[in-house]
Structure 1
């Protein structure tokens, strides 16, 4: 009888752990909607209640810097990025983009893919990949608009951005469901100021 009771309690405990993941690590990079800025270490003030850091609860191998967006209801967005230098072909950035995109597809499903070279582009050779991004002749992005939010995330954007002839950034942006309300309120305050 004691063995059966113990076995039942053990099974319930295991099920609880696996069915209820730790809420403090559920969102991107170990963040959660509404997190207070005090949860994070080594923050650098970027103005407008937003902060840069390299120290998030769960780091991803592709991203080096994290930008945390806060509103009156705590954390409402996360942006992460890394810079690749001396790579005008954009090979490192494209490989990182592909890796992250595949990981996101597994978790969030298929995105809207916006990967194209504009008609009449001057910088269309493979050796000019980064320059074509920099001159806005090329778009290399994927967007997830989540009709049913996952981990309170409403929108994810993954993109490559040219920063010159041979410097490219990979950027990912997560918007929690409270971000939209924050933006609406902020716009209304600005409109009232006029």
Structure 2
């Protein structure tokens, strides 16, 4: 029986991200996102930032869920995607590397972060998916955009 896993993948992007690949642009307000056809639900507010589950206008075929973060002053600044799948470890790694390569070809090299809790017992071969699922591993690539490109906006 296939077990469906929610795995946080790539797109854990933060700070100043240009998010064009999913039909969303850096700095857009919720109203602009919705006007472009992005559907959002379940808002959660923390300080000046509201996060939403979102359905983008240009989703990636292997990513099923998106979480977007919108700052009151700066607009959209963070997109996180989730794959709802029962992929093998090699398929997950391939998907991650493919997405990273696609984004890198547009936005340059990312800042990489791959951290695992060595005390979790999930550090061995074959535990890549399990360690992500249980939160014992954080794997993320972040692309930053030069904010001076938006100084006149």
TM-score range normalised by the length of the shorter chain: 0.5 to 0.7
Q: State whether structure 2 residue 113 is matched by structure 1 residue 114.
A: yes
Residues paired across the two proteins, number: 125
Q: State whether structure 2 residue 58 is matched by structure 1 residue 58.
A: yes
TM-superposed CA distance for 1:94, in Å, is 1.4
TM-superposed CA distance for 1:97, in Å, is 0.4
Higher relative contact order (CA 8 A, sep 6+): 2
Distance 2:21 2:44 in 1: 22
Structure 2, unpaired ranges of 5+: 1-17
Q: State whether structure 2 residue 42 is matched by structure 1 residue 45.
A: yes
- TM-score, normalised on structure 2? 0.59
Structure exhibiting the larger radius of gyration computed from Cα positions? 1
TM-superposed CA distance for 1:100, in Å, is 0.6
Q: 1:34 to 1:106 in 2, by over 3 A?
A: closer
Q: 1:38 to 1:128 in 2, by over 3 A?
A: same
Distance 2:42 2:117 in 1: 37
Residues 34-90 of structure 1: CA distance to partner in whole angstroms, max 9, x if unpaired? 323233243213221432222x23222232222232233362323232234445x53
Distance 1:28 1:73 in 2: 23
Give the structure with the higher percent helix: 1
Q: 1:115 to 1:69 in 2, by over 3 A?
A: closer
Distance 2:65 2:109 in 1: 26
Contact 2:65 2:84 in 1 (8 A): no
Distance 1:116 1:27 in 2: 27
Q: State whether structure 2 residue 28 is matched by structure 1 residue 35.
A: yes
Contact 1:68 1:75 in 2 (8 A): no
Distance 1:123 1:65 in 2: 25
Contact 2:89 2:128 in 1 (8 A): yes
**Backbone CA RMSD of aligned residues:** 3.4
Structure 1, unpaired ranges of 5+: 1-24, 153-176, 178-194
Contact 1:116 1:139 in 2 (8 A): yes
